[in-house]
Amino acid sequence: MDLNFSPQEIAFRDEVRAFLKEHLPAPMRDHTRRGEGRHVREDVLGWQRILYARGWGAPAWPVEFGGTGWSKTQQYLFETECAQAFAPMQLAFGLKMVAPVLMRYGSPEQQKRFLPPIIEGRDWWCQGYSEPGAGSDLASLKTRADREGDEYVVNGDKAWNTLGQYADWIFCLVRTDKNAKAQRGISFLLIDMKTPGITVRPTRLLDGSLEVNEIRFENVRVPVSHRIGEENDGWTYAKYLLGHERTNIAALGNCKRELGRLKEMARSLERRGRPLIEDPVFSTRVAEVELDLVALEITNLRVIFAEEKQKAPGPEASILKIRGTEIQQRISELQMEAIGARALVADADADQGAREANVPRALDAYLNLRKVTIYGGSNEIQRNIIAKTILKL
């Protein structure tokens, strides 16, 4: 496997860099750099519209659905460059999670109705999988959808819903046959968040943010036409979606960006009268995490080559999820160690040392990243998947 980029791929990377330099609005870049959550919706949808106008709104979508037709390597280069330029995220819930399910399992009518608003930056999607009593053991979910003519009546609660306060739509797993075997009694519904009976309750996290929510459904009526595929076959579609989600959680571009910021910190901050990067213990730990990141990138490229052959992500997605999330946490821990007690400053922009190190809100980032080894299927569950599918245990 040749891990060197071709001249054409290098030219493409340079084109993306030039585009980002010219068209990424400075306020959006600065909000992302500082982690200012209050700008999330306007920045994410605004950036999506800028990319759509350029024809880059959906890097991974097929051309027939409005995508770019890029190779997997081009997609990887694009996402890495966007992350390192501090571009706002492209919303994975729509572009990378529900959209692939719609393309593979949705009806032509559903594809026509739901895909254009995603790529054009008009609809914000969120996910309704986990529940108060069903997280990693997702098949034990209890949110119920009872059929009444051409509608389902949905009742139940979803937990740990990310950014649902901004959402226009939610894709949900619901139980449509309580007597069937757990995985067989689940259906996949698309629900308008403006439907009467939906209540969004924010959950304040350790870092003080309101990033996740509990969502209650009380006699929420959903057209049967908003069900993906067949009734009670939702587990099949959920597994397909989770393979894409776990690959995304690895966040390789973000890891490379934050590693770069860590090195900047280590060069600009001092310990015992010399730059922190010259401390042999600290610099060794930075080198170790960088080597692990290089190994993760090679694994990611292997997944890319597999996807080029139309192979859906398998256990490799679990490996990416485990290592990617662990590396995110380790980099964050090293940033916290580097910045020291100044990380406790409520507004890091007011701290000259933190501003020079270019890592404001280090404590917020550290606390927020505690969750990445849990969501999308905890890392313990991913190790079980690897044991069963690769080691045959």
Active-site positions read 245
CB atoms within 10 A of CB 196: 8
- Distance between CA atoms of 144 and 135, rounded to whole angstroms? 16
3-state secondary structure 205-254: CCCCCCCEEEEEEEEEEEEHHHEECCCCEHHHHHHHHHHHHHHHHCCHHH
- Distance between CA atoms of 168 and 152, rounded to whole angstroms? 19
Alpha-helix residue ranges (DSSP H) falling in 269-279: none
* Of the candidates 45, 124, 58, 118, the residue with the CA atom closest to the CA atom of residue 88: 45
Residue 220 main-chain phi, psi, to 5 deg: -85, 125
50 close to 88: Cβ distance less than 8 angstroms: no
- DSSP string across 18-87: HHHHHHS-HHHHHHHHHT-GGGHHHHHHHHHHHHHHHT-S-TTS-GGGT-----HHHHHHHHHHHHHTTP
Alpha-helix residue ranges (DSSP H) falling in 131-170: none
- Distance between CA atoms of 247 and 62, rounded to whole angstroms? 19
SS3 of 145, please? strand
Rounded to the nearest angstrom, the gap between the alpha carbon of residue 301 and the centroid of all alpha carbons in its chain is 18
Distances (CA, A) of 284 to 5, 261, 266, 288, 311: 29, 16, 12, 6, 38
